[in-house]
Structure 1
Amino acid sequence: MRTRHRRRVIGVDDHGVDDHGVDDRGDASSATRHRRRVIGVDDHGVDDHGDARRAPRDGVGGRMARLAFLGTPALAATCLQALLDRHDRREHDVVAVVCQPDRPQGRGQKVEASPVKQRALQAGVPVLQPTTLKKGSPDGDEFFGRFSSLGVDMAVVAAYGRIVPQRLLDLPPRGFVNVHASLLPRWRGAAPIQRALQAGDRQTGVCLMHMVPALDAGDVFATDTVTITDDDDGATLTDKVAARGAALLGRHLDDLLAGRLPRAPQPDEDVTYASMLTKDEAAVPFQETARAVFDHCRAMVPWPGSQTVVDGEVVKLFQPALTDVDTSGVAPGTLVDVDRVLGALFSCADRAVAFATVQRPSKARVPAWQWAQGRRG
């Protein structure tokens, strides 16, 4: 019979629902039903899975491997599921999930659990939410002590959002493995998917990387390539890469734990960096070519989006499309036409880019032709 241990959480209320809000959050109601007080370890430094689980096919010293996961957004939740599937089959033991502290997000600043936290709570896995990982800070040192006590064999990281310090990297015998959303060394950093789209790349991918303190500079265990089409935007490409990353992790997990998977250093040439997106990048750079504008706008989905100024009013623009309309002699950013099929056509350095739907301040998003009728009225 399994022993029930009382758990508590860092940064979680009595209902086990956090106050983390990011645009891609899910419904927190399922997490509320669990009413868990999570953390990473109970008073005895053990989890509540007991001894009933069988050893994995490729165990660690003949026992079930103990895994930790660090991540926060939806992409990370997809990768976490690859570990939870093994956890549910009693092949490996996910002993803790670490995610960013809860923060209000969105227009209404509504407090919601992050996708990773929701997934962990639904699976009954302990959650840790340190405000910092830095040595010498009360929260960072407390987290280090708790993480040390877990006896983790390997940690997996996907879009966690913080640099993991060396003292943490040194704890698991099999180290930290990062599921990184690009084909390294291209697009090291925080926004590899968006920067690949913005640059007009025709392919990207995902890597399993041995983590080191330097930003995304570790040796690579395995890669998989993802094709980028003109139908992709930041949201759809994230879904593609997340699914491919989860599959890659699941395929190589046993070999990673057994130390059988060779790794290769990244080449020094062709290194590029994917800086974080900023709110200012919502302004559409109509002075560039239509292709560059198209790539920029789809990279900004879902955040920060795309916007411009029409007749002194800031409007949000959605669903960009390339056109053959020549606007080489027109001032960039001019509204040259509104087509019932294509949408609102804005001039770029060479041709027009059309946006199918438009949103005025404090108004609903509507088809461009409907927005144009409202302007004339």
Structure 2
Amino acid sequence: MKVLFMGTPDFAVSTLEAIIDQGHELVGVVTQPDKVKGRGAKISFPAVKETALKYNLPVYQPIKVKEPEFIETVRNLKPEVIVVAAFGQILPKELLDIPPYGCINVHASLLPKYRGAAPIQAAILNGDEETGVTIMHMDVKLDTGDMILQEKIPISQDETGGSLHDKLAKLGADLLVKVLEQLRDGTTKRVPQDDSEATYVGMLNKEMGLIDFSQPAIKIERMIRGLNPWPSAYTKLNGKTLKLWEAQVIEYSSDALYGQVVAVNKDSFVVMTGKDALLIRELQLEGKKRLSCEAFLRGYPIEVGTILG
């Protein structure tokens, strides 16, 4: 099939490579504009652009996909289907109407649950036992189109946002290949979403990672895993940012303040929360490397009574 691919971050790379591996004709790859990063103001390419260039594919980077010039460019490419994976812009009706097989989206949740920008992290933050990928027809609203194919996977107890991202990226690529075959053969099924069961999740930002120790330990522990690797869960220690990378919920009752260290062991320390406590196993102080708690405590001793936050 003649495919126009639209995607931006690492999550979309697996899908792009799967389309290439299956021998489909990629008429172009659309991604977000390059960004300037770091003190050196270096130009940073989106992950999808780097992959497209590796395969010598034509790349388009419109600031807005609703621009008439870009829409005309897509018409001239004459794609049979447009495949979208974590692209980052809502497609206007003029684009949706161009390919005869429509626009197909790879979405990292079990729709209609977790429509929006951060479904992977939301599944962990909310303590879900399973998640998955939905391949859907796109319409003019956000993640509301008819579903074509959906597959579930379990969420492990030590799952992080990063590990779940990688699993769902691969699953999404595998499912998308199946859907392209179904489109070609005319065997796809369209299942409308139940809007009454829909939930929306917004974009991640750094402020989301600030830990409130008055919350239950289980909620903070999910936050530590769900926001790993970005934006990460963090607090303050003696005025410096302290990122927490791994923690364990333990039953604990105390009159200590929220965020107060109530026990220090050789390889961990315990912090009081709104319900139960957190045993800290891995962390990173501002300007330092990520360390096991044992290694951290050898160079930066923490005393009982220290308050984080």
How does the TM-score come out when normalised to structure 2? Answer: 0.92
Give, in whole Å, the separation in 1 of the partners of 2:217 and 2:50: 40
**Is the Cα–Cα contact under 8 Å of residues 338 and 372 in structure 1 kept in the other structure?**
no
**Is the Cα–Cα contact under 8 Å of residues 209 and 223 in structure 2 kept in the other structure?**
no
- 1:247-285 Cα offsets, whole Å, 9 max, x none, are 111122121234320111001222101111121111112
Give, in whole Å, the separation in 2 of the partners of 1:323 and 1:104: 43
Displacement of 1:235: 0.3
Which range moves more in the overlay, 215-224 or 302-311?
302-311
* 5+ long unaligned stretches in structure 1: 1-64, 135-139
**Structure 2 residue 2 is the aligned partner of structure 1 residue 75:** no
Give, in whole Å, the separation in 1 of the partners of 2:270 and 2:40: 31
**Is the Cα–Cα contact under 8 Å of residues 262 and 272 in structure 2 kept in the other structure?**
yes
Give, in whole Å, the separation in 2 of the partners of 1:71 and 1:233: 23
1:134-149 matches, within 5 Å, as 134=66, 140-149=67-76
**Is the Cα–Cα contact under 8 Å of residues 328 and 349 in structure 1 kept in the other structure?**
no
**Structure 2 residue 238 is the aligned partner of structure 1 residue 311:** yes
Letter in 1 for 2:286: P
**Structure 2 residue 262 is the aligned partner of structure 1 residue 330:** no
Displacement of 1:328: 4.7
Count of paired positions: 302
Letter in 2 for 1:100: Q
Which range moves more in the overlay, 260-269 or 100-109?
100-109
Which residue of the partner structure matches residue 105 of structure 2? 178
Displacement of 1:83: 0.5
Displacement of 1:331: 1.7
- 1:148-174 Cα offsets, whole Å, 9 max, x none, are 100100000000011111110011011
Which range moves more in the overlay, 357-366 or 197-206?
357-366
Displacement of 1:315: 1.3
Which residue of the partner structure matches residue 247 of structure 1? 174
1:94-133 matches, within 5 Å, as 94-105=26-37, 110-133=42-65
1:173-212 matches, within 5 Å, as 173-212=100-139
Displacement of 1:113: 2.5
**Is the Cα–Cα contact under 8 Å of residues 72 and 116 in structure 1 kept in the other structure?**
yes
**Structure 2 residue 91 is the aligned partner of structure 1 residue 164:** yes
**Structure 2 residue 27 is the aligned partner of structure 1 residue 85:** no
* 5+ long unaligned stretches in structure 2: 303-309
Give, in whole Å, the separation in 1 of the partners of 2:226 and 2:82: 30
**Is the Cα–Cα contact under 8 Å of residues 174 and 259 in structure 1 kept in the other structure?**
no
Displacement of 1:204: 0.6
**Is the Cα–Cα contact under 8 Å of residues 246 and 283 in structure 2 kept in the other structure?**
no
**3-state SS of 2:6 partner:** strand
When residues 190 and 108 of structure 1 are mapped into structure 2, their CA distance, relative to the original with a 3 A threshold, is farther
When residues 344 and 131 of structure 1 are mapped into structure 2, their CA distance, relative to the original with a 3 A threshold, is farther
**Is the Cα–Cα contact under 8 Å of residues 133 and 168 in structure 2 kept in the other structure?**
yes
- 1:211-252 Cα offsets, whole Å, 9 max, x none, are 001110000001000111112100000011111111111122
Letter in 1 for 2:72: G
Give, in whole Å, the separation in 2 of the partners of 1:187 and 1:328: 36
Give, in whole Å, the separation in 2 of the partners of 1:332 and 1:221: 47
Give the fraction of aligned pairs with identical amino acids, expressed as a percent: 38
Letter in 1 for 2:74: F
- 1:31-67 Cα offsets, whole Å, 9 max, x none, are xxxxxxxxxxxxxxxxxxxxxxxxxxxxxxxxxx210
**3-state SS of 2:43 partner:** coil
**3-state SS of 1:184 partner:** coil
Which residue of the partner structure matches residue 269 of structure 2? 344
**Is the Cα–Cα contact under 8 Å of residues 328 and 350 in structure 1 kept in the other structure?**
no
Choose the corresponding residue for 1:213, options 126, 140, 156.
Answer: 140
- 1:108-155 Cα offsets, whole Å, 9 max, x none, are 765332221121111121111111123xxxxx2221121110010000
Give, in whole Å, the separation in 1 of the partners of 2:275 and 2:137: 44
When residues 274 and 360 of structure 1 are mapped into structure 2, their CA distance, relative to the original with a 3 A threshold, is same
Displacement of 1:304: 0.7
Give, in whole Å, the separation in 1 of the partners of 2:130 and 2:161: 14
Give, in whole Å, the separation in 1 of the partners of 2:224 and 2:104: 32
Give, in whole Å, the separation in 2 of the partners of 1:110 and 1:235: 25
How does the TM-score come out when normalised to structure 1? Answer: 0.76
Which residue of the partner structure matches residue 307 of structure 2? none
Which residue of the partner structure matches residue 37 of structure 1? none
Give, in whole Å, the separation in 1 of the partners of 2:63 and 2:124: 31
Give, in whole Å, the separation in 1 of the partners of 2:71 and 2:265: 59
**Structure 2 residue 156 is the aligned partner of structure 1 residue 229:** yes
Give, in whole Å, the separation in 2 of the partners of 1:365 and 1:337: 21
